[in-house]
Structure 1
Amino acid sequence: MTYSARLSNSFDGTWELYIVSDSPSLAWPEFPFERTAPIPTLHERATAIAALGFEITEGAQWQWQELASGTMDRVELLASVDARPIGGAA
């Protein structure tokens, strides 16, 4: 089964990575980077995903989005990539 691993800057601006699962959102596995800059590197993101028991699926690429509710509001960045449980099939 494939899940979505997501990297976002939280309300306070710190980076966090979480795995979207079938569980309620409060139970999603998450990894806080506890910093606002720089954006976590590809290696840091892969290490965080592995720490949560997942791996990036072969050939998957990070996709980035900017989310804003208005032209004067702070922009949130969201990146996502397909992941699967370590040792699991996609």
Structure 2
Amino acid sequence: MTTPDTFTAQMAIARSTGRWRLYVVIYGELVFEWPEYVFDGATVPTVQDRSRALDALGYTPVDGTVWDWTEDHVPGDDPAGPVYLIASARVREVAS
């Protein structure tokens, strides 16, 4: 759950490029593009890689947070279809 001073960062593999992308979900503001970081390659980014990406975007994980993984089926809800993994974590903006 987010609070007014926290956001949700999500990471998933882009189906079009096969590269992992991390983005910070920002609701309630006029935002045309959410802050996003695209990783090189198809290897799952490590926790340290994710922290560096968040830092580059101006965010940091909330103390004690862990990355939660969810799976979805592509396309739709076909249980025989490929699995699509989505990671999420609570983050906050780094004070400037």
How does the TM-score come out when normalised to structure 2? 0.81
**Distance (whole Å) between structure 1 residues aligned to residue 93 and residue 10 of structure 2:** 15
Q: State whether structure 2 residue 90 is matched by structure 1 residue 86.
A: no
The change in CA–CA distance for 1:25 and 1:17 in structure 2 (over 3 A counts) is: farther
RMSD of the alignment, in Å? 1.8
Contact 1:16 1:34 in 2 (8 A): no
**Distance (whole Å) between structure 1 residues aligned to residue 30 and residue 10 of structure 2:** 15
**Cross-structure match for 2:37:** 31
Runs (4+) off by over 3 Å: 23-26
Higher CA-based Rg: 2
Query: What SS is found at the alignment partner of 2:11?
Result: strand
TM-fit CA distance, 1:35: 1.4
**Cross-structure match for 2:51:** 46
Percent of aligned pairs sharing the same letter: 31
TM-fit CA distance, 1:14: 1.3
Query: What SS is found at the alignment partner of 2:65?
Result: coil
Q: 1:26-73: CA deviations, max 9, x gaps? A: 510000003112x10000000000100000000111100111031232
9-18 vs 20-29, greater mean Cα deviation = 20-29
Q: State whether structure 2 residue 66 is matched by structure 1 residue 58.
A: no
TM-fit CA distance, 1:16: 0.5
- In structure 1, runs of 5+ residues without a counterpart are none
How does the TM-score come out when normalised to structure 1? 0.86
23-32 vs 58-67, greater mean Cα deviation = 23-32
Q: When the two structures are aligned, how many residues end up with a matched partner?
A: 87
Query: What SS is found at the alignment partner of 1:50?
Result: helix
**Distance (whole Å) between structure 1 residues aligned to residue 79 and residue 31 of structure 2:** 28
